[in-house]
Amino acid sequence: MPKIALVDDDRNILTSVSLTLEAEGYSVATYTDGASGLEGLTADRPDLAILDIKMPRMDGMELLRRLRQKSDVPVIFLTSKDEEIDELFGLKMGADDFITKPFSQRLLVERVKSVLRRAAPRDPSAAPGTPGSEPTPGKALIERGSLVMDEERHTCTWKGQRVTLTVTEFLILQALALRPGVVKSRNALLDAAYDDQVYVDDRTIDSHIKRLRKKFKAVDDDFEMIETLYGVGYRFKEQ
Q: Express the helix, strand and coil content of the chain in percent, nearest 5 each.
A: 40, 20, 40
pLDDT in tens, 58-112: 888 899 989 888 888 899 988 875 555 566 666 667 788 888 888 888 888 988 9
What whole-number distance in Å separates Cα of residue 108 and Cα of residue 71?
A: 23
Q: Looking at the structure, do residues 98 and 22 belong to the same domain, yes or no?
A: yes
Residue 201, domain member (yes or no): yes
pLDDT at 198 over 60: no
Q: Looking at the structure, do residues 64 and 160 belong to the same domain, yes or no?
A: no
Mean pLDDT of the chain: 82
The answer to whether 29 and 41 are in contact (CB under 8 A) is no
Higher per-residue confidence, 201 vs 210: 210
Q: Look up the pTM and report it.
A: 0.59
Q: Looking at the structure, do residues 22 and 115 belong to the same domain, yes or no?
A: yes
Q: Looking at the structure, do residues 175 and 109 belong to the same domain, yes or no?
A: no
Residue 207 belongs to what domain range? 141-236
Higher per-residue confidence, 54 vs 203: 54
Q: 118 pLDDT band (50/70/90 cuts)?
A: confident
Q: Pick from 46, 51, 71: which is nearest to 165 by CA?
A: 71
What whole-number distance in Å separates Cα of residue 239 and Cα of residue 237?
A: 6
Q: 133 pLDDT band (50/70/90 cuts)?
A: very low
Q: What is the CATH number of the domain that holds 232?
A: 1.10.10.10
pLDDT at 115 over 80: yes
What whole-number distance in Å separates Cα of residue 33 and Cα of residue 15?
A: 15
Q: Looking at the structure, do residues 59 and 149 belong to the same domain, yes or no?
A: no
Residue 103, domain member (yes or no): yes
Last residue of a domain, one of 119, 149, 184: 119
Q: Looking at the structure, do residues 10 and 81 belong to the same domain, yes or no?
A: yes
